[in-house]
Amino acid sequence: MPPKVTDNRPASAESLHAVPVETALAAQRIVATYAEDFLDGVTLMSMLGVEPDGLIHRKVVEELEANEAATKKASRKTTKKAAKKAAKKST
């Protein structure tokens, strides 16, 4: 059975090595260039550990979902369906 990764590493994020500032800025620019949309860019930066200070992926996702839900509710249109009348055949 392989050893657990958490047994070998400390759990706190502060104890892990920090990416140098210049490298982080360059990585952010590259991610911003190749990201398809804002959420994609935020996700990639968070995965790489180069997100700007104060950016929390979970909060960004919650805000985008709330905005998307509000937009969908506001843009919903009511349409009347045409009633099909069955024609009686008289024989």
Instruction: Answer yes or no: pTM beyond 0.85.
Output: no
Q: Cα(first)–Cα(last) distance of the chain, in Å? A: 82
* DSSP-derived 3-state class of residue 79: coil
What is the residue-averaged pLDDT of the chain? 79
Q: Which stretch of 2-16, 18-32, 70-84 has the lowest confidence by average pLDDT? A: 2-16
Which of 13-17, 23-27, 30-34 is predicted least confidently?
13-17
Q: Residue range 24-42: average pLDDT?
A: 92
Instruction: Name the pLDDT band for 31 (thresholds 50, 70, 90).
Output: very high
User: How far is the C-alpha of 4 from the C-alpha of 7, rounded, in Å?
Assistant: 5
Amino acid letter, 14? E
Q: Is the pLDDT of residue 71 over 90?
A: no
The angle, 0 to 180 degrees and rounded to 10, between the axes of the packed helices 38-48 and 57-74 is: 170
For 18, the token pair is 């920090």
Q: What is residue 32's three-state secondary structure?
A: helix
